[in-house]
Amino acid sequence: MPATRKHLHISKPRRRQRSVSLTTRASRCGVKNYVNVLKSVHPSVETFFPVTKQYLQEYIDAKKKQGTIKANSLDQYFQHIESYNMALGH
């Protein structure tokens, strides 16, 4: 009896994605950069989460003014910021 396609299929065990701790998310470069840039703009503010449209606009404007804005870095930073914001429940 010839082997059928079903019998030849070898399934790989699926890897579970680990949940990243809040501390790890907070230490990512995008989150640190976001907080540091906004602290320079608003020294009296304690926290910049939840992220607002105003905070993001000020962050982008400050990065433009510094001349350190790069599209690929900014995209990664936004992913870090979004991930941390979601982990905080916002």
Tell me the per-residue pLDDT of 38-90, one tens digit each, with 9 for 90 and over: 999 999 998 888 888 999 899 889 888 888 777 788 888 888 888 888 888 88
Q: Reply yes or no on whether the pLDDT at 8 is more than 60.
A: no
pLDDT at position 22: 65
pLDDT at position 67: 83
Q: Report how far residue 48's alpha carbon sits from residue 52's, in angstroms, rounded to the nearest whole number.
A: 8
Contact of 52 with 58, CB cutoff 8 Å: no
| Whether this model's pTM surpasses 0.85 | no
pLDDT at position 2: 56
